[in-house]
Structure 1
């Protein structure tokens, strides 16, 4: 690990500009902002070390008070910006932004660009003929301003480039950015330029530069994709708010300081100064919104902050935003129709203000229509047709091996054990004692980019790099077979003559395995012969992983600008306990699949609560797009007797545990109407519509995989004074 610089005292005697690049600093292009730590190392640092090495101290260059006052006077006074109505050819205007580029064409001619978010491209031109003229001084000042510094520029409008032909911007075309909405580019003849701060020379910016997570402000500022996604996020939120308002929903804020209740996920606890008492941050506003239904609110929504202390992945954060809604006197059908109308309106809202562009890496992201560069390829969001596809949990698990299927994947899972010889099944079976289920899928690559050799090499590499959950599956390893006509039985000899013939016969359910072509890949996987539980099977996870790898290798085309929405319904009400989720803490050996407030799907499922709870289905529905679960909802239990029975009689919670929900049961007893609701993961929704797989790309200051905010370096260590104030004590770690 790199060691912090120990020559702090010597270093601080000199201006920071003298230490732009330490002689021992690694050679790879990593930017260290002014407040970053120095690193001494005799070798190149890995990405992990660069990003995870904690800063030891900050370096500030102290200046005399006189200099500080002079700088403040220089940078704090600037002229007002022009309004949209001021922009006309030949008129003098003032704009503010970052100096993003300079093109020096000689001693007497300089061009520069001003970066303005949600505004048009602004190009300034500065030239001069005689020395000491205003034009000469302006050109000189422009050349002296460092790139990326914030500036105020005053000049004459030379030309306006409009989206639509018009001689003069109208009042209706005004935008909040201070520019006419119909203008895409403005050319200015420079009059004066005033820097509003200096961009330090020791922050190196170049194409493809990677800033560390501690410099999130620089990541956002210099990323072509991150900042536009943040700009699109509130526009999506505004479109949803407007749609909900038209549907008659009421926005209600619910408390963030809640109390600990066993809904199913781990909570963050907030201590108080009262001994033994603590708040809990809400996992969701679930209980509050059900109480609102009992209070007479007909339709509720809010953009709610939620907190869950769970293992982190690319699509999870310890704190996140969800669009939460609930409908009184409603069923799940009513909620699903409302959600469909909300989501289906997003493409139109985005297309009205943004366009999709693609960078050199094939990444799509939104750009404001007024900020599109000339000649830049543009795409639109496709319209969404409703109603969305629906399938049950059982069907999703059977066909795709996952409860949030990606409908873009062209190959489905088929059950094949009925046509396979016992000898082959035995070879691929792990520790299962009873006859297993064998499932398979067929993959056919893009033949314009593949042949047998390249596919065989790809399969070998793929199998060598399987994650542990697949390579160490006790049920058995996946078994790939590549079809090759030149081999005996086309490469299917391990199935035996009868097995190969039966598999490719085209019998009902086996149509995928007819007309095999050279290079087609068949994957076989066994699983225990029992009802589905959980969110995926081994073959389902393998199928998704293989599809993504095939795309990355070029064996399948990318589907970046395509949305396949569906509802997954009829989930099991309960799931056997596991070590990962705390559940509700009951003694039944199982817990609620989603939360303990979901109503049974049918009267038959209500009867199963008494005889066989694990077979009971809940009236729960998940919204899925391209393999991503955007949100989930359910019809709720609105009868206090049924809710108490589920908690006490089915989950076998203690009296103390049931008492934690007394406020909700009391609300249900007060004549609460039937109601249903939904929680839409707003971060995931924005990520999907702005072309990224990680919600970190649509959150201004996301947490790391360790739950740390590397920008402000939280969480911080609790002090002895805080421990005393909140009646806490640290427990020694077990050896």
Structure 2
């Protein structure tokens, strides 16, 4: 009882901050405050009193008992756990239940009750009810029941040794509770609350989906790491402070105190890992931090993590098989440790031992097993059939070329181009019993009225949508005319997709210039993706939680320069599609380097799933003479530009073996497998779309002292190098 009385006194003291402490010390507004100037002008006695009060308050919040270990959790045992007071249920004035939030552990339910209103148990119940929700607490009590289930096979974790394996919930009769730092009243928490980016710490604490995805991330990483170790790869850390080299993306520079000298943060460990192959390392990997100063999207961050690997004495096919074996491991670890839950439109994994009784919707879903080898498509096939070099194979319709079947009058209505290529696809919605053509018409009107600007104002013309309706003349396709309808629906056209039209089918048309494919997508390919996702959101197609993996191969070795990517800075007017170290695909492509390099194909392969490029790799140029030829003669890089790669050329010249590699976007991989479209949902502290960390306020302004130290000047257009 003496321990209990001390605990109760401690709770009572900790609930009310001392009114003489400085404002904000415990995030509660005190009744009186001491200003900074008052504090420093106070006499010695006042300072001493303030110090004693601070020590007392600090003592109230800092002393707590050691948490119990897994071997102590037995029925009838006195245990101590730490966590957040997350939910309280007052059944009566004499009976209260509360939950303790513990990540990576079972559910904890504490019970506090009493019979005699003058008993210590009554005081304890009163004190527990007075502690604000979401406060970190230390709880001591008697284990009344352990709820157990069989541990997951193989990859089941045992609560990191803190709780017994297989326990999903622990019921504890409260003996003592201590607040460790009270949660402030001015922070309002509600179900599904969205905090601003500046309060990322609160979003992490109160978003189950965000926390769950962060818990899944290291489990996926651990499985991949173990698999690579089993395959004989060696983990090697490469430097973060690198040098500026024109690999293809913009870099972040790090100034030094030496005038005119700067580091560059690595776009990838590409050059270091090739040097490792020349060093005799047979197989290399690392979870590498990479940095690129590029335009941001939902699946991009200026700093990101990639699982980087390289294999010597290997071809691209060897690397692809290794990557397939890696990725195929992920469903097993997720199914063993996690269940899916559904909250509104969001679906995400939750540790099985942390499931609540109400978590039933979505649990019947599984991460499907992956079957290797994955399908392979050439770049040309992917662009012609799907309009994208990262096609989403879940979308149940493909693109067909139809300009040979259309009258010139219709073509002139959808584009100003002369002799264009016209492509189309048919989208068939799932209308259900209550749906009809009017439902489809409403969907199309909304879709076309809200097209993204790049589609609505495309220079080759916006997409055109026609709805098939058998009750209307020419089935509602009168814009095509008799000739166009006959051309599309007749078997003689060679296109079979439009011969069995049904009411509600939507035909989308788009014109483009009659030039070879380049870049990552066509306008109609982008429209195809947009239509699919809008149809899923509108309920016209079911959401597909499967994973459609494929390899895209045979990319062009070089791509015409654009106004976005810096490329390699050569004078040829084109740049390496992947990077300048990628090898030609065949002997014929080697010959094309000298005669028509834009027709040469590269031994470059991308791994794609559900319309997301998870990573890319290639067989490398391992002969120094060939590498220098590509840089100097094909890309027409300057002597200075080629000289920036002298370290790599020296390594290749030293008898570097043939080698190939791959870089897997780890953030994207985790996002895909945890069913989110944004990598920001799987990164604890992500950057905004402007590359800013809004929580800490970075990047920050350069101070005058820093400008002097690093030989920088602040000009009208920002900071520039001095001297």
Give me the TM-score of the superposition, normalised by structure 2.
0.91
Aligned to 1:225: 209
Q: Which residue of 288, 301, 315 corresponds with 1:331?
A: 315
CA distance in 2, matches of 1:260, 1:165: 51
Unmatched tracts of structure 1, length 5 or more: 1-10, 21-62, 167-171
* Higher mean C-alpha displacement, 135-144 vs 248-257: 135-144
* Higher mean C-alpha displacement, 326-335 vs 147-156: 147-156
Q: Which residue of 538, 541, 545 corresponds with 2:530?
A: 545
How many aligned residue pairs are there?
673
Aligned to 2:357: 374
- The Cα offsets for residues 331-382 of structure 1, whole Å up to 9 and x where unpaired, read as 00000000000000011011221111111x2211111111011242213211
CA distance in 2, matches of 1:385, 1:246: 20
3-state SS of 2:712 partner: coil
- The Cα offsets for residues 178-220 of structure 1, whole Å up to 9 and x where unpaired, read as 0012001111111111111111111111112221110000000
- For the 8 Å contact 1:590–1:651, the answer to whether it is kept is yes
Aligned to 2:84: 98
Tell me by how many angstroms 1:506 deviates: 3.1
Unmatched tracts of structure 2, length 5 or more: 1-21, 32-48, 719-723
Aligned to 1:483: 468
Tell me by how many angstroms 1:267 deviates: 0.2
- For the 8 Å contact 2:468–2:504, the answer to whether it is kept is yes
3-state SS of 2:497 partner: helix
Tell me by how many angstroms 1:634 deviates: 0.2
- For the 8 Å contact 1:506–1:513, the answer to whether it is kept is no
Aligned to 1:305: 289
Q: Is residue 466 from structure 1 mapped to residue 451 from structure 2 by the alignment?
A: yes
Q: Which residue of 563, 571, 580 corresponds with 1:579?
A: 563
CA distance in 2, matches of 1:428, 1:366: 45
Structure 1 residues 668-707: aligned runs within 5 Å:
668-707=652-691
- For the 8 Å contact 1:398–1:413, the answer to whether it is kept is yes
CA distance in 2, matches of 1:292, 1:473: 46
Q: Is residue 314 from structure 1 mapped to residue 298 from structure 2 by the alignment?
A: yes
Tell me by how many angstroms 1:89 deviates: 1.1
CA distance in 2, matches of 1:409, 1:73: 61
- For the 8 Å contact 2:26–2:182, the answer to whether it is kept is no
Task: Label 1:424 to 1:717 Cα distance change in 2 as closer, same or farther (>3 A).
Answer: same
CA distance in 1, matches of 2:259, 2:118: 74
Q: Which residue of 95, 113, 128 corresponds with 1:127?
A: 113
Aligned to 2:553: 569
CA distance in 1, matches of 2:577, 2:517: 13
CA distance in 2, matches of 1:303, 1:544: 31
Aligned to 1:384: 370
Aligned to 1:216: 200
CA distance in 2, matches of 1:234, 1:12: 39
* Higher mean C-alpha displacement, 226-235 vs 499-508: 499-508
3-state SS of 1:103 partner: strand
Q: Which residue of 493, 507, 512 corresponds with 1:527?
A: 512
Structure 1 residues 17-416: aligned runs within 5 Å:
17=28, 64-164=50-150, 174-176=158-160, 178-359=162-343, 361-377=344-360, 378=363, 379-416=365-402
3-state SS of 2:223 partner: helix
Aligned to 2:575: 591
Aligned to 1:498: 483
3-state SS of 2:187 partner: coil
Tell me by how many angstroms 1:175 deviates: 3.3
- The Cα offsets for residues 515-565 of structure 1, whole Å up to 9 and x where unpaired, read as 111111101111111110000000000110111111111111111x21110
Tell me by how many angstroms 1:134 deviates: 3.0
- The Cα offsets for residues 132-153 of structure 1, whole Å up to 9 and x where unpaired, read as 4332222122111110011111
Aligned to 2:38: none
* Higher mean C-alpha displacement, 128-137 vs 623-632: 128-137
CA distance in 2, matches of 1:205, 1:622: 43
Aligned to 1:422: 408
Tell me by how many angstroms 1:14 deviates: 13
Aligned to 1:50: none
Superposition CA RMSD, Å: 1.9
CA distance in 1, matches of 2:494, 2:563: 36
Aligned to 1:59: none
- The Cα offsets for residues 481-504 of structure 1, whole Å up to 9 and x where unpaired, read as 111111111112222212211211
Task: Label 1:89 to 1:287 Cα distance change in 2 as closer, same or farther (>3 A).
Answer: same
- The Cα offsets for residues 246-265 of structure 1, whole Å up to 9 and x where unpaired, read as 00000000000000000000
Task: Label 1:733 to 1:459 Cα distance change in 2 as closer, same or farther (>3 A).
Answer: same
Task: Label 1:696 to 1:14 Cα distance change in 2 as closer, same or farther (>3 A).
Answer: closer
3-state SS of 2:160 partner: coil
CA distance in 2, matches of 1:13, 1:685: 41
- The Cα offsets for residues 273-311 of structure 1, whole Å up to 9 and x where unpaired, read as 111110000000000000000000000000000000001
- The Cα offsets for residues 440-479 of structure 1, whole Å up to 9 and x where unpaired, read as 0001101206321121122122112222211121212211
3-state SS of 2:108 partner: strand
Aligned to 2:36: none
- For the 8 Å contact 1:85–1:174, the answer to whether it is kept is no
